[in-house]
Amino acid sequence: MNIDLTGKTALVTGSTQGIGLAIAGSLAAAGARVAVNGRSRDRVDEAVATLEGDVFGVAADVADADGAQTLVDALPQVDILVNNLGIFGAVPAGEITDELWRTFFEVNVLAAARLIRHYLPGMVSRGWGRVLQIASDSAIVTPHEMIHYGVSKTALLALSRGYAKEASGTGVTVNSVIAGPTHTAGVEDFVYQLVDRSVPWEQAQREFIRLHRPQSLIGRLIEPQEIANMVTYLASPLASATTGGALRVDGGYVDAILP
pLDDT in tens, 215-236: 999 988 999 999 999 999 999 9
pLDDT exceeds 90 at position 248: yes
In the chain, domain spans: 9-182+224-249, 184-221
119 is catalytic: no
The one catalytic residue among 149, 163, 192, 233:
149
Q: How far apart are CA 14 and CA 61, in angstroms?
A: 9
What is the pLDDT at residue 221? 92
Q: How far apart are CA 130 and CA 141, in angstroms?
A: 26
Q: How far apart are CA 18 and CA 36, in angstroms?
A: 12
pLDDT exceeds 80 at position 259: no
pTM across the whole model: 0.94
Distance of CA 235 to the CA centre of its chain: 13
pLDDT exceeds 80 at position 51: yes
Fold exhibited by the domain 9-182+224-249: Rossmann fold (3.40.50)
Bridge partners for 58 per DSSP: 37
Q: Provide mean pLDDT across the span 142-152.
A: 96
Bigger pLDDT: 3 vs 186: 3
Asked if residues 233 and 27 have their Cβ atoms less than 8 Å apart, the reply is no
What is the pLDDT at residue 184? 86
For residue 63, give every residue at least 6 positions away whose Cβ sits within 8 Å of its Cβ, in sequence order, or none. Answer: 85, 106, 107, 110, 111
pLDDT in tens, 82-96: 999 999 988 999 999
Backbone dihedral region for residue 35 (phi beyond 0: left; psi -120 to 50: alpha; all else: beta): beta
pLDDT in tens, 161-209: 999 999 999 999 999 999 998 998 878 888 998 898 899 988 898 899 9
Q: Provide mean pLDDT across the span 107-123.
A: 98
